[in-house]
Structures are given as C-alpha cells and as structure tokens.
Amino acid sequence: MNDIIAQFALKNEVGEPQPLKIGFINDSFVLKSKVKGGISYFLQRINHHIFENVDGLQQNIKLITDHIRTKLMKNGCQPSEIDRRVLQLVPTKDGKLYFKTSNGDYWRMYVLIENATSHDQVDEHSAYLAGRAFGDFQCQLADFPTEKLCETIPNFHNLEFRLQQLDDAVKQDVAGRVKQCESILSEIEKRKEDLCLAQRLFREGKLPKRINHCDTKVNNMLFDENGVPLCIVDLDTVMPGFVLSDYGDFMRTAANKAAEDEADLSKIQVDLSVFEAYTKGYLEKATFLTDTEKRMLPYGCRLMIYMQTVRFLTDFLNGDTYYKIQYPEHNRVRTQAQFRLLQEHERLADVLQNIVNKY
Ligand code: GN1
Ligand code: MG
C-alpha cells in the first residue's frame, strides 16, 4: 500500500494505514500525520463495479467541493473552519484526482477532518440538525449548473427505469420466484401510475431537477465535539434529481421505528417526531423550493419507499445479485418491510401533509 500512498501529494509524512469499518461500498483507511500538528489523510479504494465511471465520479466530487468551498469563503468562513466544513480531495503528484493501480484498482485521497464523529441512529434533535444540514447542502449547490455533473449511477432514482428493471426480472424469472410474489407484484402494479407522477411532471417542466446527495442517511454527516453538524460526506452519488429523493430517503431510513428489513411487520411505524423534526430543519434551510416541491414532500417519502420496495423485489427475483444478503429470504423480507412502511405512509398521508404544511 506504500506504493499507492506515495502517488499522492501529501504535505507531511504519515503512519501506517489504519482500516476503517464504514460504508458497504468503498474500503477506507486513515493515515495519521507523523508530524505534530500536521495533516492526516483519508484513503479510499473506490468500488468501480458500482461506480463504473471513476473519472466522472471524481470530477463531480471536485466540482461540488470547490463550489461549496467558494460559497463558504464568500460567507466569511475562516480558512481553518472551511477545512472542517467541506471535504478536500488530495491530487496525485501528477495532478490527477485518483490513482489507478496496474491491477485495475482505483484509489483516492482526502484530507482527514479531525475530531469529527458520525452517528448511526437519530433522535429528534439530531433529525432536526440533519434536516438543516441536508437543506444547507442543497442550498449551497442550488446555483450549480446541473449539466456539469454526470450521473455516477445512471437512472439511479428514476422510478420508470426501476419499474422496467422489475418487469424484465419478472419476464426472465431466473430464480423461479415470481409465483410466490404475485400478491406484492399486483400491489406494485396498482400504484405505478400515481408514483410515476414526478417523472411526468418533470417532462412537463413542472418539477425541476436539482443537485441531490442521493444517500441521505444520518451517518453521512460529520458532527464536531459539541454535536454540531460539520459537513456532509459520502459524495459518490451526488447528482441531479428531484429534491424528493433526499427528503424521502432520509424519512425512509430514519423516520421508521423499525429496521429497513424488520420481519415483524407490526413493528414498522412512522416515527412522527423524527418526521416533524427533520421537516422543520430542512424547510428552515431549503429556501429555494417551489410550491410544488414543498407540497410534494410527503409524496417524496412514498416515492422513495415504493422505489426501494421495487428495487429489493427486483433483486429477489434476479436471485440476489445486487444487495448483500444475510439469509436466503432476506430480499423478500426487505420487500415486505418496505411495502408495510409504504402502507403506513398512505394511511397517515393527511397527518404527514399537515406537518409539512405547518412549516
Ligand atoms: C444501498 O449501501 P448503502 O446502504 O449506502 C443503495 C441505496 C439503497 C440502500 C438500501 C449505491 O445503499 O440506494 O437505498 O442500499 N446504494 C446504491 O439499503 O445502490
Ligand atoms: Mg452509501
């Protein structure tokens, strides 16, 4: 690994790489400075099976982080503070944004943000702070020209595309599992028209695409020693999409009293206090939203939960090739759990809409 590290333009000597157990996609290592008060680094091997266009991916991250950096500077943020508020890529000695090894692995380097932590769980207060932080992130990028960014995973949050993938999986039925999924398939069919509304509004010019994070989990934010959010990380999926994606995906993962793959469906309930706190924080910061976008936020939750139901079911029918599973029926259980959460959102539609209207 020393050969890899030697490719990057580091400002000081660093110690042995220490592996970090975060994320399911990339491999991460910390390189501590050997010099007191020096810079420590964060090294990652990029999963190029998922992110096929590493060049485009790294270019996106560079453009986004430079844009946020300039914004922070204009707002009078001190340079030492800026380094904690936005990620900073470290180029290779020949000025590239990543290094490709002879065996085809891709590596990138960031400056490590010191004394920062992340959380896997939310409570009401951290949901509120997360809402503000993700709202701020979208706000910082609201004036960035979307056409400059590539889709790091093409059609990632495009429901029509995801439904097409499900159709293909049903037709091929490679794992012979379609028969046992007939009832959930018909539930999905019933909701197709309604939930493709966002795509239709986009085509009619009534719903804009903006830059989204596309993985708005609370553990993708760093907090300082006092529990104040510092910066948004895991920028791999930042790409143009509907704001409904980021709002909806946070609610899908955080405003659920049970896990995403809970087998006991009676435990799956919307956490209304998390829902309200995130909404309040988000709407305080996301001042650029149109009336249509604001009104559609609860719909955004249903959209993302439905899309995840479709994606888990597709993978189950394809014989579990995309998501890692812990037991043979895992993707079917995940599908049922997401579908139950969707039904909860449908049942509470008026309540959730009233919370959004309140803010
Ligand atoms: C994947 O691996 P993770 O948790 O960051 C997936 C998301 C899904 C999520 C479902 C690149 O995210 O889109 O919503 O699983 N990421 C990718 O748990 O497919
Ligand atoms: Mg991720």
CB of 120 shorter than 6 A to ligand 1 = no
Q: How many CB atoms lie within 10 A of CB 25?
A: 16
Residue 225 burial (CB count, 10 A): 9
Cβ neighbours for 138, distance < 8 A, ≥ 6 positions apart:
210, 211, 212, 213, 243, 246, 285, 286, 288
Two tokens, residue 185: 């398939």
191-245 pLDDT, tens per residue?
A: 999 999 999 999 999 999 999 999 998 889 999 988 888 999 999 999 999 999 9
**Average pLDDT over every residue of 295-302:** 98
% residues pLDDT > 70 (the chain) = 99
Residue 111 CB–ligand 1 contact under 6 Å: no
In this prediction, residue 21 carries a pLDDT of 77
Cα–Cα distance measured from residue 85 to residue 223, given in angstroms and rounded to the nearest whole number: 10
**Whose structure tokens read 């479709």?**
310
Gap from CA of 77 to ligand 2 centroid (Å): 28
| Whether residue 314 has its Cβ less than 6 Å from ligand 1 | no
Q: Which atom of ligand 1 is nearest to the CA of 237?
A: 11
pLDDT for 65 equals 97
> What is the per-residue pLDDT for 23?
67
Q: Whose CA is nearest to atom 13 of ligand 1?
A: 215
Q: Which atom of ligand 1 has the smallest separation from the CA of 323? A: 15
Nearest alpha-carbon partner for 285 in 134, 175, 165, 101: 134
> With a 6 A CB cut-off, is 215 part of the ligand 1 pocket?
yes
Q: Which helix (H) or strand (E) holds 28?
A: strand 27-31
Quick one: average pLDDT of 345-359? 98
Residue nearest to atom 2 of ligand 1 (CA): 24
Looking from the CA of residue 234, the nearest atom of ligand 1 is: 5
Interval between CA 77 and ligand 1 midpoint (Å):
33
User: Distance between CA atoms of 132 and 155, rounded to whole angstroms?
Assistant: 27
Which ligand gives the minimal distance to the CA of 249? 1
**pLDDT tens, residue by residue, 109-162:** 999 999 999 888 889 998 999 999 999 999 999 999 989 999 999 999 999 999
CA distance linking residue 83 with residue 93, whole number of Å: 21
DSSP string, 158-217: -HHHHHHHHHHHHHH-TTS-SGGGHHHHHHHHHHHHHHTHHHHHHHTTSS--EEE-S---
15-18 long-range CB contacts below 8 Å, 24 or more apart?
17/43
Which ligand lies nearest to the CA atom of residue 334 in the structure? 1
What are the helix and strand counts (H, E) for the chain? 13, 10
Give distance in angstroms: CA of 52 to centre of ligand 1. Answer: 16
Q: How far apart are CA 223 and CA 211, in angstroms?
A: 23
Write down the pLDDT at residue 236.
95
| Averaged pLDDT, 157-168 | 98
Residue 190 structure tokens: 């019933």
Q: Is there a contact between 156 and 241 (Cβ–Cβ < 8 Å)?
A: yes
Name the pairing type of β-strands 221-223 and 229-232: antiparallel
| Cβ(327) – ligand 1 distance below 6 Å | no
DSSP letters for 268-303: --B-HHHHHHHHHHHHHH-TT--HHHHHTHHHHHHH
Please tell me the distance from the alpha carbon of residue 316 to that of residue 331, in angstroms, as a whole number: 5
